[in-house]
Structures are given as C-alpha cells and as structure tokens.
Amino acid sequence: MTEFKAKKYQEETDKYLLQLFDTDWENIPDENTIWWEYETGKKVPLKKDTFTPILHVPELKGYFQFVPKITEGGQHRYIETGRLKSDGPTTRVYKFQDLKTGRIVAGKLAFSQQDDEDTWDTRLLSLAQARKHAGLVHPNIAVVFDLAMTNNRGSPEAEELFYIMEWLSGGDLFYRVREKLSLTEVEEVIKQIGDGLQFIHDQGYIYADLKPDNIIFSGDGIAKLIDVGITTKMDKAGKAVIKGGNDHFVSPEQRNWQPVDIRTDVYSLGANIYFMLTGKTDFALRNRWRDSNDPLPVLEHYKAEFTEDTLSSLSSVLRKSLNLNPEDRFTSVRETVSEFTSFFPKNRPL
C-alpha cells in the first residue's frame, strides 16, 4: 500500500528529477542528503530542510521527491507532432519533439485531471510508476526518460501527465495485426514479449497489464512493453493483489482482485496470442472457444500454413494458457513461449 506523506508541490525543486531515500524521512540526518540533478545526471548535496517528502513507497524502500518540468523559462519543453499508429480504442501515445534537445520522443498519457478526482494521489503514484519503469532495463521494455505535464487547453482541469519515452515508430499490436503479421513475425513477437515479461518476473514483479496497446514496435519491428502503471512487486510467496487491467486480457483472478502470481501474466500472454492469431479481443467470445472442442479460428491468411494436427496442438497449448484455474496453466512465461513456438510451422518465408 502506498502511503502519501505530503502533497506540497514545490516549484523551486524543478531541476531535480528524482530522489530515493533508504530510510524513513524522520531518521534522515539534518546534514546534506543526496539528490539526482536532472540537467547533469550528477548527485548533488542539498539540505534536508529544503524539501518536503512527497510520497512513501514501502515496496521500493524509500521516499520520492519529484516535480515534473512543465516549462523551462516560460517556454514549452515538448510539442506534439503526431500520434502512434494504432487501431486500439483507448491508445493515447503521442509523438513529441523535445525542444531542448531536438529529440523525437513518445508521450504516453499517464494521468489526466479529468480522469480522476483524486488528483494528487493519482499523479504522485505515476511518479512511483515511472521510477519502477526506469529500473526495468531490457531490450523489450521501452526506455522512460522523463515525466512532463501539459496544459494544452489552458485550463487547470485539463492538466495531463505523460511518461516521456523513446519514440517507437512501428505502431502498437492493434495496428500490426491489422497490417497482417506473418506467422514468422507472430512467433518473434511471442518470443520478444516473453523475454520482456520473464525479465520483469525475474526482478520480482508481476507486469499485470499485457494488452495490445501496451505492446509497441520499433521501426525495425522489435516489440517492447510500455506502461508499468500497475506492475506490482511480489511478496515472499510470489503473490500480489492487483487492482486494474483490461478486462479483455487479464486473468479472472486478477479481474476479481484476488491474489495473483506470475501465472496472471501467462494468461494475458495467451490472450494476446489468441488476438494475434484470430484478430478477436472479446473475452466472452474467447472463453466460449476455450470451453469448446473447436479448432482455433485463425485469421484467413494463416489457414494454409497450419496442418490440422498442428492447429489442434496449438489450440491445446492456448487453452492451457487460458485456463480459469491458474494451477492448470503453464508455470512460467518461459515455458509458455517454448510450448507455443514449438508448434509453429518451420521454414516459412517472411
């Protein structure tokens, strides 16, 4: 549970990106403490009484102080130049230019003041989420550089907080499926997303939000996970209670706020594979197929590439991933990926 210690917004700390204390605020000595300076990336000493602790996140063992840079010298830092290619109903990833560096970056909407009346708690929790994301460095996880707040419509009620990430020009999984992925590409996506998920699990977290609009592609087709908004640290028993996630892709136990383990991500991986192969997202339709003996209703352009036996075997693997009982699913993402890819037709042209 996140415990908010203070809610004071301090403009004077604008240049300092993030601070993590390894002890309680009350026990930090009055002499200088160490902060990260945004502009240089260096550690700088600042007196404790200069700041107010913003929030306490026990699972990350510390306190955070962060003020997102909205403007610099009265000038906007980022301007919108486009939007991510997506056919998803809720995707809100924008293409920004960093006016200071000239770099093209992505802005993933983390919070809008219009979305939630609990403004501070939601905003500050996003800061902790960004800190988690920054610590998850992997080729199949998008890099987060910054947080930025915008007020594009000139109204305090329209404030929006964005993760500033590396720009990935290949669109999201909704877009790629509409563009007709080859089976070779489907197999590569399964492997790459599986690698990202397995890394998150190896760090002691459950990703918990695997869905097509959180799978973004680089220009050369590398799949990357974005948004660790509800990614949660596991307890010593490997469990967590997670509130949230897209109903069409989360496991039934997560949807019902029951304790979950890494097999909730196994379920979500299966749901995304079902989407890639069938083009369907509705979980009720998927559940009816799972509970039947019907072969997987793959998209038309895949039908000639599967033999009847292979499709039957693939259907069995998918049903195991989507089992209502986590005890009857695969025990890891690594095992899931291995089982899926073993049934894909080999030696296919791209």
* Lowest mean pLDDT across 52-61, 155-164, 198-207, 270-279: 52-61
CA 305/CA 323 separation, integer angstroms: 26
* Lowest mean pLDDT across 114-123, 295-304, 325-334: 114-123
Q: Mean pLDDT in the chain? A: 74
Q: What is the pTM of this model?
A: 0.74
In a domain? residue 27: yes
Q: Do 57 and 193 share a domain, yes or no?
A: no
> Which tokens is 241 given?
């209670």
Q: How many structural domains are present in the chain?
A: 2
CA 308/CA 335 separation, integer angstroms: 24
Q: Taking Cα atoms as reference points, which of 222, 314, 326, 201 lies closest to residue 264?
A: 326
Domain end point (choices 46, 64, 82): 64
CA 302/CA 4 separation, integer angstroms: 51
**Selection from 4-13, 269-278, 280-289 with the highest mean pLDDT:** 269-278
Q: Which residues contact 215 (CB under 8 A, 6 or more apart)?
A: 172, 173, 189, 193, 223, 224, 225, 226, 272
- Mean per-residue pLDDT for 182-194? 95
Q: Do 39 and 183 share a domain, yes or no?
A: no
- Mean per-residue pLDDT for 138-160? 67
In a domain? residue 217: yes
Q: Taking Cα atoms as reference points, which of 196, 198, 232 lies closest to residue 214?
A: 196
Residue 29 sits in which domain range? 11-64
* Lowest mean pLDDT across 122-126, 197-201, 224-228: 122-126
Q: Do 57 and 186 share a domain, yes or no?
A: no
Q: Do 56 and 190 share a domain, yes or no?
A: no
In a domain? residue 241: yes
Percentage above 90 pLDDT, the chain: 35
pLDDT at residue 346 in the model? 63
In a domain? residue 234: yes
Q: pLDDT band for 95, please (50, 70, 90 cuts).
A: confident
12 DSSP assignment: G
Domain end point (choices 47, 64, 81): 64
In a domain? residue 22: yes
Asked whether the predicted pLDDT for residue 84 surpasses 60, the reply is yes
Please give the angle made by the CA atoms of 180, 183 and 186, to the nearest 5 degrees.
80
Amino acid at 5: K
CA 89/CA 276 separation, integer angstroms: 16
Asked whether the predicted pLDDT for residue 126 surpasses 60, the reply is no
pLDDT at residue 158 in the model? 52
In a domain? residue 71: no
* Lowest mean pLDDT across 10-19, 168-177, 205-214: 10-19
> What CATH number is associated with residue 307?
1.10.510.10
In a domain? residue 85: no
Domain end point (choices 20, 49, 64): 64
In a domain? residue 81: no
Asked whether the predicted pLDDT for residue 134 surpasses 80, the reply is no
CA 55/CA 130 separation, integer angstroms: 13
Task: Pick 291 or 36 by higher pLDDT.
Answer: 291
> In degrees rounded to 5, what are phi and psi of residue 172?
-100, -175
Q: Do 195 and 316 share a domain, yes or no?
A: yes
> Do 282 and 184 form a contact (C-beta atoms < 8 A)?
no
Q: Do 35 and 180 share a domain, yes or no?
A: no
